[in-house]
């Protein structure tokens, strides 16, 4: 059985979509651990509700930094758990060495824009403010940059007249929840 790890900092609706896809047979895999750098993140609660071990990554009080020794410890833990694929789902810290090379071509991220347009935070808001006609979401392999790795799959979401940041993000998230499990499946087929 393919072993997945999910890392997130927030609500975890994408993690939920992975749980759902596994449950209804679209994704033949199991989530063996959920990790969050935010002890209050709802993603941890979702994991526990699904009987999945959920742990906090202690970033030693750093607000944005993902310290080297902490990445080392995370890499070690995921290797010990024999994780096949690491899925970032709203994880707000930049993954770097040594975690990257511990899982070559095995770390995915979902981003709420049509990369390479609008990398970084609140990408849907950036798209709206730029007057884009099309928004969307992207699943990509993770490299050392911010939202720069090889693109695996994308879904388009039209920007509608009268859209607010909230309404657009909500429609993008509907597509994210379909896209991420499908993209994980595609990445697994390439291993
Ligand atoms: C999603 O919009 C994802 O694209 C971005 O962060 C958000 C996470 O949402 N990277 P959730 O925690 O999965 O609900």
pLDDT digits (tens, 9 = 90+) for 160-180: 999 999 999 999 999 999 999
Number of other residues whose CB lies within 10 A of the CB of residue 157: 24
CA of 172 to the centre of ligand 1 (A): 10
Per-residue confidence (pLDDT) for residue 86, from 0 to 100: 98
Asked whether 67 lines ligand 1 (CB < 6 A), one says no
* Residue 176 CB less than 6 A away from ligand 1: yes
Which residue's alpha carbon is at the smallest distance from atom 2 of ligand 1? 112
CA distance 62 to 170: 30
Q: So what's the pLDDT on residue 77?
A: 98
Q: Does the beta carbon of 149 lie inside 6 Å of ligand 1?
A: no
Strand 107-111 vs strand 85-88: parallel, antiparallel, or unpaired?
A: parallel
Which atom belonging to ligand 1 lies closest to the Cα atom of 88?
Answer: 10
Is 111 in the active site?
A: yes
**CB of 175 closer than 6 angstroms to any ligand 1 atom:** no
Taking only the tens place, the pLDDT of each residue in 10-42 is 999 999 999 999 999 999 999 999 999 999 999
The pLDDT of residue 100 = 96
The rounded percent of the chain whose pLDDT value lies above 70 is: 100
Q: Residue 4 forms beta bridges with which residues?
A: 31, 85
Alpha carbon of 170 to ligand 1 centroid (Å): 10
- List the beta bridge partners of residue 7: 35, 88
- What is the edge-to-edge ordering of all strands in the sheet holding 151-158? 54-56, 29-36, 2-7, 85-88, 107-111, 134-141, 151-158
What does the pLDDT look like over 57-66, one tens digit per residue? 999 999 989 9
What are the backbone dihedrals phi and psi of residue 145, each rounded to the nearest 5 degrees, phi first? -85, 180
Atom of ligand 1 nearest to the CA of 16: 13
Whether 89 is in the pocket of ligand 1, judged by its Cβ within 6 Å, is yes
The secondary structure of residue 159, as a DSSP letter, is: P
pLDDT of residue 182: 98
Residue nearest to atom 8 of ligand 1 (CA): 90
Residue range 37-56, pLDDT digits in tens: 999 999 999 999 999 999 99
Per this entry, what is the length of the chain? 191
pLDDT in tens, 65-106: 999 999 999 999 999 999 999 999 999 999 999 999 999 999
**Percent above pLDDT 90 for the chain:** 97
What's the pLDDT tens digit per position in 98-130? 999 999 999 999 999 999 999 999 999 999 999
- Report the distance separating Cα 182 and Cα 188, nearest Å: 10
């Amino acid at each position: 059985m393919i072993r997945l790890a999910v890392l997130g900092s927030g609500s975890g609706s994408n993690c939920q979509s992975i749980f759902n896809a596994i449950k209804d047979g679209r994704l033949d895999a199991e989530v063996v651990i959920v990790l969050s750098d935010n002890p209050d993140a709802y993603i941890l609660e979702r994991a526990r509700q699904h009987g999945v071990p959920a742990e906090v990554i202690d970033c030693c009080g750093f607000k944005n930094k993902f310290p080297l020794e902490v990445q080392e410890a995370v890499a070690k833990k995921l290797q010990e758990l024999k994780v096949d694929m690491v899925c970032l789902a709203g994880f707000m810290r930049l993954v770097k060495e040594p975690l990257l090379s511990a899982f070559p071509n095995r770390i995915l991220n979902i981003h709420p824009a049509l990369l390479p347009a609008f990398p970084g935070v609140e990408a849907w808001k950036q798209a709206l403010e730029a007057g884009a006609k099309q928004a969307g979401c992207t699943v990509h392999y993770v490299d050392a940059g911010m939202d720069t790795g090889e693109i695996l799959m994308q879904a388009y979401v039209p920007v509608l007249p009268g859209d607010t940041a909230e309404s657009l993000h909500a429609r993008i998230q509907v597509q994210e929840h379909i896209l991420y499990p499908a993209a994980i499946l595609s990445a697994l087929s390439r291993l």
